[in-house]
Structure 1
Amino acid sequence: MRVGKHLLLILSMALLVVGCGSTEQAHAQSQAQHNNSLTKLQIKLFGPGETAPLKRVVINDQELIQKLYAQAQALPKPQKDRICTMQLGLSYALSFWNGDKLVEMMVANSSGCGDLMLSSGDWRQPDRQFWQVLRQAYDSAAGVKQPDSLAVVRYTDKTQPPLYARVTSASQVQKFLTALHQLPRQADQCAPVGMPFDDLYFFEGEKMLRVQIFKGACKAVRIMSEEGWRTMDQTVEQLLEQTLATTSFAKAIPDRLEMRIAFTKHGQDNGLTFMDLGHNNEELQRVRKIYDVTYALPLLPLRNGNHESCPASGSLKYYMLIFSQGGAWLTTAIAYENCEPVQLNTVGATGIPLRQATQEFWSLVRPIGVQ
C-alpha cells in the first residue's frame, strides 16, 4: 500500500493527543484551568511513526511544568509555505494535570519542521528555548527503577493476534529488569526482525519502560529508551522463562481502543474525530468485536502481481485504530476510505500481509466517527 512514511508519521503524531479523552474535552479543561495550578506532567516518548510508547515518565516539579506550559502556549503558529525536511525523529506526548484533572495534552515532534500540536488541533512552531526546557524536563524525570508489574505481549505469527500475560510479583519483575540492564551491548548488530518476539512493558506506578526481546536467529534485546541493542544470553533467557512461569499466556483481549478519523488533504487534517473507547462494559464489548473482526479480515489478494494502491498524496479519509490491554500496546490498524487494504502494524515485524476490508468491518468502524 503506497502511503509514505512521512504521512504516517503525521497521522501518528496527531493521534497521540487523544490519550485520556476527546480533543474537545481536553481543550475545554485547558481553557478552564489557570496555568499556575498544574501539579503533574506525564511525558510519553515515541519512536518515529510509532503508536506504542517507548517510555513514560512523570514530573512533579511545578515550577518546571509551569515554565514548559507557558512557553508552549506562547509559541507562534507555523509560517505558511515553509520548507520542512523529511528526517524521522522522536515525539514527546505531554499530558498536563491539575490533581486528577487533565488540563492539556500536546505532542512535540522532532521530525520535519519540529511542530507542536495542541489538543485543540492547533499547530505551533517550537523554538530552541522550548526544546531546551522540554528536554530538561524529560531528562530530570526518573525512569523505571523498581517495577511493580510486567505485561508481556507475545507475537508468534504474522497473521494471528498476539498473546498476553501479566506478572505481578514485584521481586521477580525487579530481578529480571536488573538482569536485562546487565546484558552486554552488541558490537556487530544483526537484524533482529520477524517472529517470534516479545514486547515487555515494565510498570512502576504511572511510569513505564518498554523492552523488546527477539528470539529468532538473532537473539537480541532492545531497551527502548536507549540506543542500540543488547545480546541475550542463556542465563537471562532462562530467567525470563522462570519469571513467566508464575503466569500463563492467553489470547490478548483489548480493553481500550483509541481511534482517529480524519480527512487529510496534502498532509493537513480537517474534521478530526477522536474516540477513546473501553470505559464501560458496552464500550468494551464493541472494542473486542472490532478487534476480532479486524484480525479475521481475509488477506488481500494480489491483482496483476500487485496490491491495490492507496493515494500517497492528495485527499483521503483515514481511520487509525490503536488496541491495547492493561496499558500494553497490541496492534494498530490503518484503513483508508474507498481503499481495500487494511494495514496491521506490529513494531519489530516485517512483511506483515495486508488485509482486505469487509462490509462488516466498515459497519463497525464507521458509526464510531459520527456519534
Structure 2
Amino acid sequence: MGWPYDGNLWRDNAKPAQLQYAAIAKAISEFEPLTMFAHPGEPAEVAREMLKDAPNVTVVELEIEDGWTRDWGPSCVAKDDSATGKRVVAGVHWDYDCYGGLLKKKLGLPTMMPSWEKDYNAGRALLEMNGLEVFEAPIHLEGGSIHSDGQGTLMCTEECLLHASRNPHLGKEGIEKVLKDYLGLEKIIWFWRGIMGDDGVVNGHVDNFCCFVRPGVVLLAWTDDKDDPQYEVSMDAYERLSNTTDAKGRKLEIIKLPRPPPLFRTFKEANGLAEGYIEKGYVPRIAGERLPSTYINHYCANGGVVVPQFGGVAAEADKRALEIIQEAYGPDYKVVGVSSREVVLNAGNIHCITQQHPAAW
C-alpha cells in the first residue's frame, strides 16, 4: 500500500483518508504481512505513528505522489523453472502516466494530478528493492484496469483501454498483443464500460466492476433498477460473460453483486480540498457527483477478503454484500468489512490502494 498525504487529492489534509487507510492495512495484516510505502518526512512519520499497533505492517520510506498502489505498482508474473523445480517471479512495470495524463493535457481533459514521475519510478523501485527482474511494458496502463484469473484469462473495459488518452497508436489489436506478450495471456474478455461514477478521470477500471473469485467464477457489479444507467452496462457485461468461455474453455459462473444505492459527494467533502487545487492541475471534485461505489473493489488476502463498507443509506447493502462475498469465496476465507468512503471519494477503493505480490519475494 501507499500512504496518502496530498491535501490536493484528499480532503482535510488527508487526515480522514489516513484513518481509513490505517484501518484497511490493519485488517489485511491479520491475514498476511503488509508493507506501507510512505513518502519521506512527515507522511512517513504519521504512517509509523498510526500503524505502530500493527506488528504485521512495515512502513518503508519511498518517494510517492499518491496512494493508488494498484495502478502505479508493478504486476508480478511467475513461471516454473524446469531446471530447479522452483517458481521464478518477475515484475511487469507499466508505462504509468496517471490515467492517460500525458494525452489528457494535450486534449484539454482533466487529469488526476499535475505530475506522476515519483509514482512511475516507485513502480520500478518496488521490484528492484526485492531483486526481481523488471520487464518494461511499452503501454500506458494502470494495474486496476486489468484483472486476470492467473490461468490465461484477463478482463478489461473498452472504456478505459481504448480511451483516446491511453494508447491510440496501438489500437485494440496492438493492446491485446502487448498484454498477451507480457502477461502470458491466451484470452481477453472486453467489457463495454465499467461502473457508473468511474467515467471521469479514471475511465472505467475493471477492478471496480468485475473480478474473478477463482478461475471460472466471477463477481459482477449489479443493479435491478432499470432507471439506473448502471443497469444497461451491467446487463451488457452479463451477456458478454454468458456468451464466452475462459482461456481453458470453461463457461463462467456469474455471481451478481448488487451495488449500494447511488452515493454522491457532499458539499463538505467537495470543499475540503486544499485551496486552489484545481488551478494547480488536480482533478475537480464536484458536490453532487455520483461516486463509483461498489463492493467488487475488495482485496483478497491469504485466507481473508477485505470489503468496502459505506454506511448510512448503504448499510443494508453493505451487510448483503458481505454475505454474498462470503458465500462466493467459501468457508476457507474470512470476509471482513472496513469503512472506506474516504477512499471512494478519490475514485477508487480497497483493491485500488493495494497490490499483492507473490510470497516468493
Short-chain TM bin? under 0.3
The structure with the greater share of residues assigned to strand is 1
- Structure of greater Rg: 1
Length-normalised TM-score, structure 2: 0.26
